[in-house]
Structure 1
């Protein structure tokens, strides 16, 4: 019921959002934004411990290399978007283009 009230209508369709990771992440982000906006007081929204300016995460190097190689093989890597970021990622992963 909660998911339906927050806009998740996957129970009514054959399509599941779990097959598409970016959509699932955006849905969770939307839920968090609604909670922050409607249920927190202004002074609570400024708490750095709850809402840090930078969020760090761990990415497995081997899986990242596999995904980058898969994107290169599929021709998805050769776009004009995020060129400096891609170059830095290849350097960090010790990969050649």
Structure 2
């Protein structure tokens, strides 16, 4: 496992890209959860939380959401209550056109 982590760090240094680092980290964590944990360990709520909070900069979130709306990637039918709350919190006046 230490060798794999070392190789992962070398790859991160080589590419120096935060997004690829996070994607690789997610793959490693998923592999550990699937192959190295016993079934009863995977059900422990103290290890695997039901809700994960994510902190984002408001300006960057507005920029990202407006770009997603513009490109048609912000689908109104996916999680409509949550998306309406996000639009209201970020004071985004642009309504999604039906």
Same fold by TM-score, threshold 0.5 exceeded? yes
Deviations 1:12-71 (A, max 9, x none): x4x3233xx3x2221111111111122211110111111122222333xxx22x114544
Alignment-derived partner of residue 83 in structure 1: 75
* TM-score for both structures, normalised by structure 1: 0.62
> Distance between the aligned counterparts of 2:41 and 2:12, measured in 1?
32
Alignment-derived partner of residue 67 in structure 1: 60
* TM-score for both structures, normalised by structure 2: 0.61
Output the aligned Cα RMSD: 2.9
Unaligned 5+ runs, structure 1? none
Structure having greater relative contact order (Cα 8 Å, sep ≥ 6): 2
